[in-house]
Amino acid sequence: MASEAVTKGQAGPWADEQIELLERMLLIRHAEARLAQTAKDVGLPGGVHLSIGQEASAVGVCSCLDVDDWMTSTHRGHGHFLAKGGEVDSMFAEIWGKSSGICKGMGGSMHVADFSRGIIGANGIVGGGLAIATGAALAAQLDGKGRAAVCFFGDGAANQGVFMESMNVSSIWKLPTIFVCENNGLSEFTVSSTVTAGKLSDRARAFGMPVEVVDGNDVRAVRSAAKAAVERCRRGEGPSYIETVTYRIHGHLEAEDLILAGGSYRTAAEIDAWRAEDRDPVSRFRALLAEEGICGADRFAELDQRAKEKVDAAVTFAEAGEPADTKLVFELMFVEPKA
Amino acid sequence: MTRKRYTQAINEALHEEMGRDPKTILFGEDVALAVFGDTRGLLDRFGPDRVRNTPICEATIAGMAVGAAAAGYRVIIHMLFSNFIYTGFDAIANQMAKLRLMTGGQIDLPITVLAVYGGGASQAAQHSDSNHPVLMNLGGIDVLVPATPGDAKGMLKTAIRNNRPSFFLQASGLGAVGGDVPDGEHLVPLGKASVAREGRDVTLVNVGSMIRATQNAAKKLAEAGIEAEIVDVRSLVPLDETTIVESVQRTGRLVVIDEARDMCSAASQIAAVVADKGFSALRAPIRRVTVNNVSMPYAPNAEAAIFPNADDIVRAATALCQPEVAAA
């Protein structure tokens, strides 16, 4: 079978695009691996929820978006933030609780946001972004410039009532909302299948919108589904639902072992199966690009190194930052400090 | 100055502010037909893009307000009865109240939430709450409880126009009440209480819906030789502590009248502020005339028994003034 690369070319714009997808995934992977290490070694101020293993979903979707398309994310939002063009420096400074953070240290890991890039933000409430994205989609529709509003959420959030509400409103008003359900099979510390009736995608079908269930660890499959959904938004044809079937390798949060005190909701074998080279989204895409002659071992080593260096620089930036300004809390909430 | 009903004043404010800024949009349940009369005529005038009937889905209505405001619109939503705030509460308490802080001030959220509160009409427990204390405790959200048509119009216009999230709470019992409304552009600053009646003996601080009971009480007290000063609080967040404390410094006595349940009511907060900042002026304990910690019953006689009234206020104020009244 002729590989896609043969028709699309081993060099040129299409190949460059593939390299960009890989680079973005590598940046997310290295950034989050570093967060895990730092949390373990010296600790980070708050809870850290990592998306290692889910990078293809974030990158595949966000690679189809323009800077002024809107995006809401989840508590597991570092990947979405970086995929939509957020800076790793200011994200790390935020997680370190510094004034130089993208939210000046007021939000932290669960609330990274960058409105200059359409990143409405991560959200500490499971399902918290669904209605907000729908509101941004309403704004986009009123603006009439063809913007889309992407809402990332998990299979856990799909059991929140607001999921049905926001799909209903998006559908009746033909809003440019793209519901991206990152189905990792886990609802915090509970296996989703034990708390979920029917198929999630059927819920979206019931509201009359196009539904695509894709291999969420295949960045091209995700990208192709997202592209169709974005084009639909641009044409004013209304919302879409994309389900990216994936898996999170790390715990619900980094302190998980401590919290669960020996308890477990999954087996080591299950994690290993998803971690395998032919299943992990980053190594899979790396192997594919090698096979297609787009990215050989040397090129890959170079990209990998560059991503690591960016992450090192981000740690330096974060550590060097000034502590957050306490006065800002009052200013931002319109309150006079108590005398 | 023209005499208008409270609901009419609100309706005018909405018309004027939507006419003023084309990025102002309004949505909510039954806003097209305007079940309370406040949104009447807006759909016809501004069209279905800017004025939308939503499904019955408070969680999404409130969440969409946050999203649309974050994306550059000036948003007004109608929650109908303030009890329905509870079904939309994540978007209010976790998103609307906190997003500006959490994003380090990257955005403003110009959102005004309309809701009708309070009992007195046998609407029973789920349509009668005065739940402003719940909102006051969130931080980051203005809580407005105008008691007169003039204030309703002027405060709503200010709230819509500023960039802060605010709850504009309409007292259910005041909708048909008339009052003077200044003609032309009329803006009332938020966080300023008004002295609605001057008096030397006792301060009656009114919270929103209790204004008529408070005024009636002041009349009855005057007949008994007690001159009450009425401070109409108008806005709970921000709270005008200065006007309240200064009044108590003049009178030495305080009764706070609030239709909320007593526990952590607005009255409790006002009492705490005066105990803290006006203690030396107090000549008697502070009294709160509030609703007991119960839900509002349906039966008219039972509701009337629970609902604070002028006699409750008179009793509380008279007791505080007793030694001097006796001495006079």
CATH label of the domain that carries residue B212: 3.40.50.920
Q: What is the DSSP string of B263-282?
A: TT-HHHHHHHHHHHHSGGG-
Is the CB of B191 inside 8 Å of chain A's CB atoms?
A: no
Is the CB of A123 inside 8 Å of chain B's CB atoms?
A: yes
B97 and B242 fall within a common domain: no
Please check whether residue B107 lies inside any domain of the structure: yes
Smallest CA–CA separation between B63 and chain A, in Å? 5
User: Which residue spans within chain B are E strands per DSSP?
Assistant: 2-5, 24-28, 51-53, 74-81, 111-117, 142-144, 166-171, 178-181, 194-197, 202-206, 228-232, 235-237, 254-261, 287-291
Please check whether residue B223 lies inside any domain of the structure: yes
Interhelix angle A161-172/A128-143, nearest 10 degrees? 10
Please check whether residue A282 lies inside any domain of the structure: yes
pLDDT of residue B304 exceeding 90, the answer is yes
Please check whether residue A11 lies inside any domain of the structure: no
**Contact residues, chain A, for B57 at CB < 8 Å:** 162, 165, 168-169
B177 and B31 fall within a common domain: yes
**pLDDT given for residue A335 in this prediction:** 87
Closest residue of chain B to A138, computed from CA coordinates: B68
CB contact under 8 A, B103 and A121: yes
Is the CB of B60 inside 8 Å of chain A's CB atoms?
A: yes
B75 and B8 fall within a common domain: yes
Please check whether residue A254 lies inside any domain of the structure: yes
Please check whether residue B187 lies inside any domain of the structure: no
User: What gap in Å lies between CA A19 and CA A12, rounded to an integer?
Assistant: 11
Please check whether residue B147 lies inside any domain of the structure: yes
In this structure, are residues A212 and A228 in contact, taking their beta carbons and an 8 Å threshold? yes
User: What gap in Å lies between CA B305 and CA A12, rounded to an integer?
Assistant: 81
Please check whether residue A334 lies inside any domain of the structure: no
CB contact under 8 A, A131 and B71: no
β-strand pairing of A177-183 with A186-187 = unpaired
Beta bridge partners of B166: B112, B142
CATH label of the domain that carries residue A113: 3.40.50.970
In this structure, are residues B220 and B272 in contact, taking their beta carbons and an 8 Å threshold? no
B165 and B282 fall within a common domain: no
Please check whether residue B30 lies inside any domain of the structure: yes
B142 and B200 fall within a common domain: no
CB pairs under 8 A between A and B: 144
Please check whether residue A273 lies inside any domain of the structure: yes
**pLDDT given for residue B323 in this prediction:** 66
B21 and B170 fall within a common domain: yes
Is the CB of A335 inside 8 Å of chain B's CB atoms?
A: yes
Residues 219-248 of B with CB under 8 A from A: 238
* A247: containing domain: 44-320
Token pair for residue A260?
């669960």
Residue that finishes a domain, picked among B133, B151, B181: B181
* B274-296: pLDDT as tens digits: 999 999 999 999 999 999 999 99
* Site from B98, B103, B107 to mutate, A interface, most A CB atoms within 10 angstroms: B103
Mean predicted confidence (pLDDT) in B295-315: 96
If one counts every other C-beta atom within 10 angstroms of the C-beta of residue B275, the result is: 13
- Contacting residues for B105 by C-beta, under 8 A, at least 6 apart: A104, A106, A328, A331, A332
Please check whether residue A3 lies inside any domain of the structure: no
Q: How many domains does chain B have?
A: 2
Please check whether residue B226 lies inside any domain of the structure: yes
Token pair for residue B63?
């969440």
- Residue of B78, B127, B132, B186 marked catalytic: B127
Nearest residue to A310 via CA among A146, A87, A106, A150: A87
φ, ψ of residue B6 in degrees (nearest 5): -55, -50
If one counts every other C-beta atom within 10 angstroms of the C-beta of residue A336, the result is: 8
* B237-253: pLDDT as tens digits: 999 999 999 999 999 99
* B111-152: pLDDT as tens digits: 999 999 999 999 999 999 999 999 999 998 999 999 999 999
Residue type, A236: G
**Residue that the structure tokens 């190194």 belong to:** A305
B84 and B223 fall within a common domain: no
**What percent of chain B is helix, strand and coil (3-state, nearest 5)?**
45, 20, 35
**pLDDT given for residue B327 in this prediction:** 44
| B127 in catalytic set | yes
CB contact under 8 A, A115 and B238: no
Smallest CA–CA separation between B148 and chain A, in Å? 26
β-strand pairing of B228-232 with B202-206 = parallel
* Residues in chain A where the model's pLDDT stays below 50: 1-2
B202 and B266 fall within a common domain: yes
**pLDDT given for residue A7 in this prediction:** 61
B229 and B307 fall within a common domain: yes
- CA–CA distances in Å: residue B222 to residues A34, A187, B199, B209, B216: 73, 64, 9, 22, 10
* B243: containing domain: 194-327
Please check whether residue B13 lies inside any domain of the structure: yes
B171 and B213 fall within a common domain: no
B143 and B237 fall within a common domain: no
φ, ψ of residue B145 in degrees (nearest 5): -135, 70
Please check whether residue A286 lies inside any domain of the structure: yes
Q: How many domains does chain A have?
A: 1
B199 and B175 fall within a common domain: no
Please check whether residue B294 lies inside any domain of the structure: yes
Mean predicted confidence (pLDDT) in B211-225: 98
Nearest to B90 among A111, A128, A168 (CB): A128
Is the CB of A330 inside 8 Å of chain B's CB atoms?
A: no
